[in-house]
Amino acid sequence: MAGGQPRRGWTAAQARRRTTAAAVLPALVPELGYDDLAISQGDVASLYLSRLLFRPELIPEAERPTLRRNLLEYCKRDTWATVKLVEKLRELV
């Protein structure tokens, strides 16, 4: 308690006891998510990035530009989510 006021907090249960950014984001920054993106999960983004970089022949050439754009959108959102999480955590401490 700071100054006699209870802290607005969150519990690990709200993050389903996981500590990844994607898990805690809904609890701490509920207005920001990934569901509207073509690539909405980090493991999927990692897989596609790995294929683009190391096994591009597995991805049809015509699909590569779209995949690159989708990965960029995911990375932009992930970076912004990290910024917003840090801001929220600073508010809580």
| Pairwise pLDDT comparison (5 vs 26), residue with the higher score | 26
| Domain ranges across the chain | 34-92
User: Residue 14 and residue 24: Cα distance in Å, rounded?
Assistant: 7
- pLDDT of res. 77: 95
Tell me which residue of 31, 33, 29, 30 sits closest to 88, measured CA to CA. 29
> What is the chain's alpha carbon radius of gyration, rounded to the nearest angstrom?
17
pLDDT, tens digit (0-9, with 9 covering 90-100), for 38-81: 999 999 999 999 999 999 999 999 999 999 999 999 999 999 99
| Pairwise pLDDT comparison (18 vs 60), residue with the higher score | 60
- pLDDT of res. 92: 87
